[in-house]
Structure 1
Amino acid sequence: MAIKKELLDELRQRRIEALAGGGAVKMEKRHSEGRLGARERVELLFDRESFSEYGMHVNHACHMPDFADKYMPGDGVVTGTGNVDGRPVAIYSQDFTVGGGALGQMHAKKIKDIMTLACETGIPVVAINDSGGARIQEAIHSLSGYGQVFYQNVAASGVVPQIAIIAGPCAGGAAYSPALMDFLIQTRTHSSMFICGPEVIKAATGQIAPIEQYGSAEAHASVSGNIHFIAEDDRHAIQIAQQLISFLPLNNLQDPPHVIPTEVVLERDDLMNELLPDDPKSGFDVYGVIDRLMDPGQWLEVQREFARNIVIGFGRINGMVVGVVANQPAYKAGCLDIDSSDKAARFIRFCNAFNVPLVNLVDVPGFMPGLAQERGGIIRHGAKMLFAYAAATVPKITVIMRKAYGGAYLAMCSKDMGADFIFAWPCAEIAVMGAESAARIIYKKEIEAAPDRSKKAAELIRFYREHFATPYQAASRDMVTDVIEPSETRARVAQALRISLTKRVTRPAKKHGLIPL
């Protein structure tokens, strides 16, 4: 006997209604604004016909008069799993056309359930945020729902990668879920993220604060550092998420998706010898080094607009996935400051959690001097980098290109901080401080007693640089693995990566270290 046709018809009708979301009129309005619907975003992320939805027939649980009988397809959020380039990923996508995408009890449960499934099966989570906030009609249940989502964000942290896309409003408590995730992508238009809106700020403080100054993608990318990528629109946001996933393992028990060729060709790159200026005081653009170090088309920078004195991102060297941390001499001379320390430390800890080897490119004159930095806590923030590198057990390969002075030398992953391989270029200077300052302190009496002080100072500075700050001095004390030509860098780093991919380190048992937050 066949199943009754009436039952099949009912199922098909229910599916049609659920798939319609908030209706054709609302969808047409979104399209006219250049925006996609919740389901369109999901379909765009996943490989064709690979999406499997969970909770399509869920409805809200509110019993308030005039609301109890209201039908809200999926309770305003689409959840499920699918494949991105053949690899499984979990997703939830809030549907603004259904009750403004507001979070209620069942909405939160769907999110919690899909994140729990992601943790238990070991697959990444992509969260597309587009919501008016808590559903007022469900009162305390909405607050409870947010708490459950936050708790699950923390449970998933370090277990599976979490990627948030801010594709619409994300206000108040809702902003904390993406903030607890690993990477945030925000669209340039039609999106905002903030705790207090302009009206609340004005009422509480009297300040006039346009949302563009603190809630926009530009503000979060360049000032607050809350987001990692700016997307031009929904489609671009999905592309960034797909590219990011291509560098990441599915979970913390797997290695990244290395694509190692069967035959590795290691050649010199003589153009690398031409990148540095003759004057050691002249700035240069570290992107030139990164470009020649990475495989063609295999570089994704993270937080490009924030703390530009340090560059971080994912790439591949001979097919091997790496996380790059590089000083940028073209901006603030490559000094480490409060923001760059936070930016680097967080990235280092992510790479360590997900088994991504670290390649560090060093040209650092020190920590940024100044009253604002000292009062802002540069000691505490700089210590985060020291903590992150020392705690990291992934392969760590450091290339000292030019300056490596003082505590900043250690903070950029010296051998003493656990680097497995240290390569230095012949022009590298490794010292407690710059040669000029050091020589003037050490040889103060000789300089003051000389008839021509400036000539004597220049002579002693040159002597100090040649005898106490060269890479060979560090190499003679086993602080440098080898001094190499810049042209050898890609080959030597690739060899070091191949050797260290099997690195395993056992640390003392403890709950967790206490990073100086």
Structure 2
Amino acid sequence: MKGSDDTTPNTQRRLESIKNHLGNQSSSTSSEAYEKSEWKDILDTVKGRRKQNREPNKNHHGYVRQKTQGKLWVRERIGGLVDQQSFREIGSTAGNGKYDEKGNPIEYNPANFISGIAKVNARDVVIAADDFSIRAGHADGAVWGKSLYTEQLARKLKIPLIRLIDGSSGGGSVTLALKNGTYLPPLIGMHDSIASLSEIPIVAAALGPTVGLGAARATLSHFSVMASTVGSLFAAGPPVVANATFETVTKQELGGALLHTSNGTIDNLVETEEECFNEIKQFLAYLPSNTSQLPPRGSLDDPVERCDDRLLNIIPKRRQRSYQVREILELVLDQGSWFEIGQRWGEGAVCGLGRLNGYPIGILAFDCSKTGSVISTAGSQKFRRHIDLCEVFGIPIVNFADYAGFTIGTKAEKEATIRHGSTLIAALYQGDVPYFSVVLRKVFGVAGAAFVDNRIPNMRVAWPSGDWGSLPLEGGIYAAYKRELDAAGENRNQLYESILAQFEAVRSPVRTAENFDIPEIIDPRHTRPILCDWVRLMYENILPQRLEKVKVYGPKVQYRP
């Protein structure tokens, strides 16, 4: 026992000595070992360039221009979009360097494109961001392989790609000819960019003058947003336009936010860059990270059985009076979940995303206060694109139907409405994503039929305000009884009213339900519980099977922007 007691202090001292030695060795690794490294010169160069790339030169004319134009610097944008401390840069030392005859660096300029992997709302994404402060985003300030790698990386990793565009996004510049002569313009990597549209979500924000290739990249996306205070978009800028068409225009006059959010080039309009980031986050929250996953379920705070009395009288009895379809959407969907896409274009077409009992769904509807529920060329294009989005990412569609047909008249014929309408019809019939129709009011003609009769079996219900047929009754009488009405002379109106009264007697939707042409006429207040139960069935039983087919064969529909 005595011997054991004698050795205990010695053992403790030895253990303490080893601990101190290891501790000193660890601290020397971070300082002395680095200084003694044979690779210190290269590591110092890498550290120096990273520091130069990541810290703005506030005296540089490009950075000053960026700030005086009210724009965020590229790294401020990334910091404002991604989850805190989640950005891992790729190509942190990429740039353009000049060297002397002995290979010593003379000059170095960072690349004007920044990329990396980050998290947005705790989900992995790839970031591709232009730095307009360096050569205004043109190709002569870029390292083209970096952009190509970023696009390919997102596709390979099967995670969303976010493009923060400011400039030509690595597009052409005549100064390149001074280095190697002129060249046939390539679109390197475009195959990957196009293919990615049918595999992963791609979103874009126009955060400055978005030109040429940058403009193409903004529109080759599933969702785009522009900040009205700083954003613009055009195939070529004012100097090129002035030389080609002799027009003298500003960037805003040529391709400002108000213009391009009213013609469908850009989906959503916001005021600030920060609002752009919020829109991107909202959009991605409804989509899976790729087409081999189910859309993510959101919060379950809103009761499934919630019924709102306001729905009972929201559609007026008089058919000529309008109503606000967006109010219906907000009352039926999970509270706060309605996210509209492209509100400023489409001539009445209403498209967006929402949730029912937390499950993401796509929405098709029509604002009858705009064009009397008739679908124009622009409306057809908008509906078709949204249907493709839902098809590619497996998002069930709920159709709130009120369609009086396609627009008619000389303007409609000049705009090739029926051709674009037929493309919409093809999209409706080619798809296989779950689809449910709630008939609010009008369903007439080829257009109306396509929206409510495109699945086997058709899943649909109607409100008591439902009104349908081959043609709108009022106009159809003039066509079907033209000879009789023309012959009636001064009694024309009286005859018309008499014929209309006969049809009114059989116009009730109850008569249609008797023939089982509409499965149910429902109390409008019960719309939410019915839809919540339907979407649950789809996510539990149909979408998993559909997903297995997508994994094997790919999406049935390729996304066409």
- Structure 1 length-normalised TM: 0.89
Distance 1:399 1:21 in 2: 55
> Does residue 1:71 correspond to 2:108, yes or no?
yes
Give deviations 1:267-322, integer Å, cap 9, x for gaps: 33221012112211111121111111121211111111112411111111221111
CA-CA distance at 1:214 after TM superposition: 3.5
1:114 maps to which residue? 150
Moved more, 346-355 or 139-148: 139-148
Selected match of 2:412 from 367, 373, 378: 373
Selected match of 1:246 from 268, 277, 285: 285
CA-CA distance at 1:101 after TM superposition: 2.1
> Does residue 1:312 correspond to 2:351, yes or no?
yes
Selected match of 2:47 from 12, 21, 25: 12
Distance 1:110 1:458 in 2: 71
**Larger Rg: 1 or 2?**
2
2:276 maps to which residue? 237
Give deviations 1:351-407, integer Å, cap 9, x for gaps: 110111111111122211121211221111101211111122111111111111101
> Does residue 1:497 correspond to 2:527, yes or no?
no
Aligned ranges for residues 22-33 of structure 1 at < 5 Å?
Answer: 23=58, 25=60, 26-27=62-63, 29-33=65-69
Aligned ranges for residues 146-295 of structure 1 at < 5 Å?
Answer: 147-222=187-262, 224-259=263-298, 261=300, 265-295=304-334
AA partner of residue 218 (structure 1): L
Distance 1:470 1:131 in 2: 58
1:55 maps to which residue? 91
Instruction: Indicate if the aligned counterparts of 2:159 and 2:289 stay in contact, CA closer than 8 A.
Output: yes
> Does residue 1:351 correspond to 2:390, yes or no?
yes
Distance 1:48 1:144 in 2: 43
CA-CA distance at 1:155 after TM superposition: 1.8
Distance 2:96 2:113 in 1: 11
Q: Which runs of 5+ in 1 are unaligned?
A: none
Q: Secondary structure at the match of 1:246?
A: helix
Q: Secondary structure at the match of 1:130?
A: strand
In structure 2, the CA distance between the partners of 1:135 and 1:324, relative to structure 1 (3 Å rule), is: same
Q: Aligned-residue CA RMSD in angstroms?
A: 3.3
> Does residue 1:436 correspond to 2:474, yes or no?
yes
Percent identity of equivalent pairs: 24
CA-CA distance at 1:152 after TM superposition: 2.3
CA-CA distance at 1:436 after TM superposition: 2.1
Moved more, 130-139 or 157-166: 130-139
Distance 1:441 1:191 in 2: 49
Instruction: Indicate if the aligned counterparts of 1:396 and 1:419 stay in contact, CA closer than 8 A.
Output: no
In structure 2, the CA distance between the partners of 1:165 and 1:262, relative to structure 1 (3 Å rule), is: closer
CA-CA distance at 1:513 after TM superposition: 7.3
1:97 maps to which residue? 133
Give deviations 1:324-348, integer Å, cap 9, x for gaps: 1111101111210000110110011
Distance 1:247 1:58 in 2: 34
CA-CA distance at 1:199 after TM superposition: 4.0
In structure 2, the CA distance between the partners of 1:20 and 1:496, relative to structure 1 (3 Å rule), is: same
AA partner of residue 108 (structure 2): Y
Selected match of 2:121 from 66, 72, 85: 85
Instruction: Indicate if the aligned counterparts of 1:61 and 1:105 stay in contact, CA closer than 8 A.
Output: no
Moved more, 92-101 or 353-362: 92-101
AA partner of residue 60 (structure 1): N
CA-CA distance at 1:160 after TM superposition: 0.4
Distance 2:457 2:207 in 1: 39
CA-CA distance at 1:240 after TM superposition: 1.1
Aligned ranges for residues 377-392 of structure 1 at < 5 Å?
Answer: 377-392=416-431
Instruction: Indicate if the aligned counterparts of 2:435 and 2:455 stay in contact, CA closer than 8 A.
Output: no
Q: Secondary structure at the match of 1:168?
A: strand
Distance 2:513 2:460 in 1: 9
In structure 2, the CA distance between the partners of 1:451 and 1:211, relative to structure 1 (3 Å rule), is: closer
Selected match of 2:503 from 453, 464, 488: 464
2:75 maps to which residue? 39
Q: Which runs of 5+ in 2 are unaligned?
A: 1-24
In structure 2, the CA distance between the partners of 1:145 and 1:206, relative to structure 1 (3 Å rule), is: closer
CA-CA distance at 1:249 after TM superposition: 1.0
In structure 2, the CA distance between the partners of 1:511 and 1:61, relative to structure 1 (3 Å rule), is: farther
AA partner of residue 310 (structure 2): L
Q: Secondary structure at the match of 2:79?
A: helix
How many residue pairs match? The answer is 511
Distance 2:58 2:514 in 1: 73
- Structure 2 length-normalised TM: 0.82
2:8 maps to which residue? none
2:523 maps to which residue? 485
Instruction: Indicate if the aligned counterparts of 2:388 and 2:557 stay in contact, CA closer than 8 A.
Output: no
Q: Secondary structure at the match of 1:193?
A: strand
Instruction: Indicate if the aligned counterparts of 2:347 and 2:376 stay in contact, CA closer than 8 A.
Output: no
